[in-house]
Structure 1
Amino acid sequence: MVKRARGRGTLASLAAELGVSRTTVSNAYNHPDQLSAQLRERILAAAAARGYPGPDPMARSLRTRRAGSIGVLLTEHLTYAFEDAASVDFLAGMAEATSGSESSLTLIPAGPSETDASALVGRAAVDGVVVYSVAQSDPHLAAARARGLPLVVCDQPKDVIDLPFVGIDDRAAIRPAARALVEAGHRRIGILAIRLERDRHDGPVDPAVLPGAALHVQRDRVLGALEEFGAAGIATECVPVITRHINDHANCLSAAREMLTTHPDVTAVLCTTDSMALGVLEYARDQGIAVPRELSVTGFDGIRNALIMGLSTVLQPNRAKGAAAGRMLLSLLDAHLADQPPAGPPPREILDTSFHAGTTIAPPGR
């Protein structure tokens, strides 16, 4: 007679076999500090022998009303989160803040052209959401708000007074870079920026649309630079502004090419991201244009590669920004689970920036 193989164990069968409660078995995995080391080892050894992997996380989430995860809503393709250095630093800060909180991170990648916002955000199994840099009218933000979960906005939109916010003062942060170019003697300066609107536009920007641009991070950086140039007597309506919808290598390089071929008289290029500035440095090198002797360049972000290359750039605390957003969301989540009403207005945290002089600014030489 063939002996039937013993089936895979369950929490209930393991508890019955060991003569302990199901809570005790669960604690061996979820709250080991509540058991003696000997009892926990006995439970884990028996579980391994029976092929029992541990409590079902789905069942636990139904019981505790927690998914055990925090969502990060990115209005970019998923690859961007791993390729863009500033985003990588931000996510590292989020991971740092949530370490030890029993909450994992779930990326919700809403690409810049995605439209099915309610389905994408609605099916994410998360306890709260950090919305990372979207327009105020973005449907993904509306879908996240509709879920009624704790929510923190990072970077933008900054003017929604009933939402918690973490970010920087972009308009003020860009000014030292613009001022450094002016003080070096530059008067023919171009600006490269990433998207100002949700709808795709690659190319020159009409100065008349800048004040009403939906994406305020890039809008404020461009306007802050133009204000600095205007204060120095530069005709701001004559400063060329060129954008790219996607902030990747190919688009940054093509933006540099467009700027320097359609405006060959510029002696400096101010960029609203380091990725854009690195594109300018690469294009200049390939064309034999010496930086900074023939062309000055500034960036914004302070990513590692930019600093290694000596780029003159604005340093923003991307990692600290992610950590601040994570801590704020966890605090809101604790209050939400305890059914505590909000105490006062939503929290807001504005982080400091600084300017790194670098080696890519010199008096005009073209």
Structure 2
Amino acid sequence: MASVSMKDVALAAGVSQPAVSYAYNRPSKLSQAQREHILEVAASLGYPGPNVLGRSLRSGKIGAIGLMMMDKLSLAFADPCTIALLRGISEVGELENVALTLFPLNNNRLVGRSPAANHGSLALRGLVDGLIISTLPDDHPAVLAVVKQNIPFVVIDSPLVDDSFFVGIDDRGAARTQMQHLLDLGHRKIGVIIDRLNPDGYRGPIDPQRFKSASERIVRERLTGYVEAASAAGLAFEDLSIIEAGGLDSTSGQAAAFTLLTSNDVTAVVACSDVMAIACMKTAHALNRNVPQTLSVIGFDDIPEAVQLGLTTIGQPMVEKGVYAARMLTEQLNAPAGTRLEPEQKIFATKLIVRTSTLKI
């Protein structure tokens, strides 16, 4: 007996093939009644739903997707946010039999210095059918190559690519909330720890020129939010003690925190990630600075360790971002040949989570 296809369901339900895809992958595009009708017809025909692996095999594709990320491959297994994204991607049922390839784009074997060089990269040589791109710098050559070759992709957080599927948050607005929390507690001597503005290895104080040169969108947006909130409270850029860690790991964060806390008389620190914030708390302890009695610290992300340490932070749905991005990608891979899907942007909400690491002065 021949298997039932999406086309069969569309004909029987009296709808288009994209509508059938929407019923499984983007239900918000349909009314509840229309979606229920499509699913009932599909069930009556014995249609199990779109299957990325099956479609890939029928089309000569290999049934694999890729995750493009910066830094060393080991970061994917150490960074809490990357782990959460991977968990979200893996929770999408349609991908349970699909291979996932990780592409660390600081590796010269995987990415060249120009879009032309990237045409020969592993990611573009048929190893994957589609890509999830996470937190790459602006105008990264690998992204330009993906766009040029029309490979299906979804961006998580950065970079912003015209006319593309995107999942993220309002980084600038959330950062304003971070800074405002410290300001509302009466702090005016505030330090800022960011991981990096450019992937060039720089570590140390940030001046306006360095700030303007930033290519890392997330950190740029968050630092902009800090500066805007501080400015509204009468604090200039120069009134903030801003240190760039030059990396995403705890060791880099502790070094940045040591520089900040031993060279500035700050009463509070806002960090662009929980990893940086927790590194600051550890360094403060080593320097006999009590948190929050003599130093308030606020982070960003709400990773599991933040809960354990009582870190005040901005919560964002990292796992859900991975789930949503994976569903966006499967929708593109399952779309009928020749069908152009309208790109979607999903901006998740964030929230301030007040714990015990911040205190009014």
Relative to the length of structure 1, the TM-score reads 0.78
User: Is residue 104 of structure 2 the alignment partner of residue 102 of structure 1?
Assistant: no
Aligned mates of 2:245, 2:254 — CA distance in 1: 10
User: Is residue 114 of structure 2 the alignment partner of residue 121 of structure 1?
Assistant: no
1:362 is matched with which residue?
Answer: 359
Aligned mates of 1:252, 1:209 — CA distance in 2: 19
Aligned mates of 1:234, 1:173 — CA distance in 2: 19
Tell me which amino acid in the other structure corresponds to 2:90. Answer: A
State the secondary structure of the residue aligned to 2:270. strand
Tell me which amino acid in the other structure corresponds to 1:284. Answer: A
Aligned mates of 2:250, 2:107 — CA distance in 1: 17
Equivalent positions of 1:312-323 (< 5 A) are: 312-323=312-323
1:220 is matched with which residue?
Answer: 221
User: Is residue 294 of structure 2 the alignment partner of residue 294 of structure 1?
Assistant: yes
Relative to the length of structure 2, the TM-score reads 0.79
Tell me which amino acid in the other structure corresponds to 1:67. Answer: I
Q: Once the two structures are aligned, what percentage of the paired residues are identical?
A: 35
2:257 is matched with which residue?
Answer: 256
Runs of 4+ deviating beyond 3 Å: 60-64, 98-102, 112-115
Cα distance, 1:216 vs structure 2: 1.3
Gaps of 5+ in 1: 1-22, 24-59
Gaps of 5+ in 2: 3-54, 113-117
Aligned mates of 2:229, 2:235 — CA distance in 1: 9
2:186 is matched with which residue?
Answer: 185
Residues 257-279 of structure 1: CA distance to partner in whole angstroms, max 9, x if unpaired?
0111121x111110000000011
| Preserved CA contact (<8 Å) 2:302 2:313 | yes
State the secondary structure of the residue aligned to 1:328. helix
Bigger Rg over Cα: 1
Aligned mates of 1:256, 1:109 — CA distance in 2: 27
Aligned mates of 1:248, 1:169 — CA distance in 2: 23
Aligned mates of 1:163, 1:136 — CA distance in 2: 14
Aligned mates of 2:353, 2:344 — CA distance in 1: 30
Tell me how large the CA RMSD over aligned residues is.
Answer: 2.2
| Preserved CA contact (<8 Å) 2:133 2:156 | yes
Of residues 130, 134, 138 in structure 1, which corresponds to 2:132?
A: 130
Cα distance, 1:239 vs structure 2: 0.8
| Preserved CA contact (<8 Å) 1:195 1:215 | yes
Cα distance, 1:240 vs structure 2: 1.6
Q: How many residues align?
A: 303
Cα distance, 1:112 vs structure 2: 7.4
Of residues 329, 346, 351 in structure 1, which corresponds to 2:348?
A: 351
State the secondary structure of the residue aligned to 1:301. coil
Residues 105-161 of structure 1: CA distance to partner in whole angstroms, max 9, x if unpaired?
111122277753442422461110011111221112123223322111110112x22
Aligned mates of 1:211, 1:172 — CA distance in 2: 19
Return closer, same or farther for 1:129/1:100 CA change in 2, 3 Å cut-off: closer
Return closer, same or farther for 1:325/1:61 CA change in 2, 3 Å cut-off: closer
State the secondary structure of the residue aligned to 1:300. coil
Aligned mates of 2:170, 2:243 — CA distance in 1: 22
Return closer, same or farther for 1:288/1:90 CA change in 2, 3 Å cut-off: same
Cα distance, 1:312 vs structure 2: 0.5
| Preserved CA contact (<8 Å) 2:90 2:96 | no
1:76 is matched with which residue?
Answer: 71
1:305 is matched with which residue?
Answer: 305
